[in-house]
Amino acid sequence: MANKVFKVFIGIGHGGSDPGAVANGLKEKDLNLAIGQACSTELVRHGVNVLVSRTKDENDDLAEEIKECNAFKPDLAIDIHNNAGGGDGAEAYYHYGGGIGKTLAENVLAEIVKIGQNSRGAKIRKNALGKDYYGFIRGTSAPAVIVECAFVDNATDIKIIDTAAEQKKMGIAIAKGILKTLGITYIAEVDDLADIKAKYEAEIKSLTEKNKALQSKIEQIKAIVA
């Protein structure tokens, strides 16, 4: 399995004439796109072959998305959404049979919790026929998860995703959950490494000053003894 290039399909929920949930000045289709693109960038940075269902605001119905996903034959598939209906927190749905999809849902939620969002849990949902309720999970061949990041119609819950920086953070959190599921070690961004370097440089400066002070004290004591 050395150097296997994994494939991940990212579905961006809604788009074009279908805005998804709309509330508090936010449209779900826009949030999904920003979060999905950040997720994609992060996966690509880790060598994953990614196919995103849409990269701009356009109509992209679910049947088309499922067709694209199955043709791509990914190792994992995730559909990015945001919620409505007055709840609070993130949740993720997986195939009722469990398996890797369940692991993916749990890993993604664990990372979302780390950025300060609460979790409503990893769940299954069946329709009247006992099959998966959600078409994306029912129709895709790969282990698939639908992640609902936050409730657009909850003025408090949207605070976790109402800026571009926060949408990016959410996308990165989802990517981390995907990478963990694939067994790929997360590598910090170059910006993060620059922060770490700056911290060490400050520590070196502080220790050098302390060392100078001690040296001068030693010289003083030596002068007294001599």
Q: Which positions lie near Zn ion, rule CB under 5 A?
A: 13, 20, 81
Closest chain position to Zn ion (CB)? 81
Cβ burial, residue 19 (10 Å; 0-12/13-18/19+): middle
Nearest residue (CB) to Zn ion, 13 versus 101: 13
| Least distance in angstroms from the C-beta of 30 to Zn ion | 12
Q: Are strands 26-27 and 22-23 parallel, antiparallel or unpaired?
A: antiparallel
Q: Which is nearer to Zn ion, 75 or 148 (CB)?
A: 148
Q: Is residue 132 exposed (0-12), middle (13-18) or buried (19+ Cβ within 10 Å)?
A: buried
Least spacing, CB of residue 138 vs Zn ion, in Å: 16
Polymer length of the chain:
226
CB of 14 to Zn ion, least distance (A): 6
Pick 81 or 102: Cβ nearer Zn ion:
81
Positive or negative CA dihedral for 197, 172, 26, 30? positive
To the nearest whole angstrom, how small is the minimum distance from the Cβ of residue 106 to Zn ion?
Answer: 21
Nearest 10 degrees: Cα torsion 149, 72, 46, 61: -30
Q: Which is nearer to Zn ion, 32 or 103 (CB)?
A: 32
Q: Pick between residue 150 and residue 172 the one whose CB is nearest to Zn ion.
A: 150
Minimum CB–partner distance for residue 128 and Zn ion (Å): 21
d(CA 102, CA 144): 9
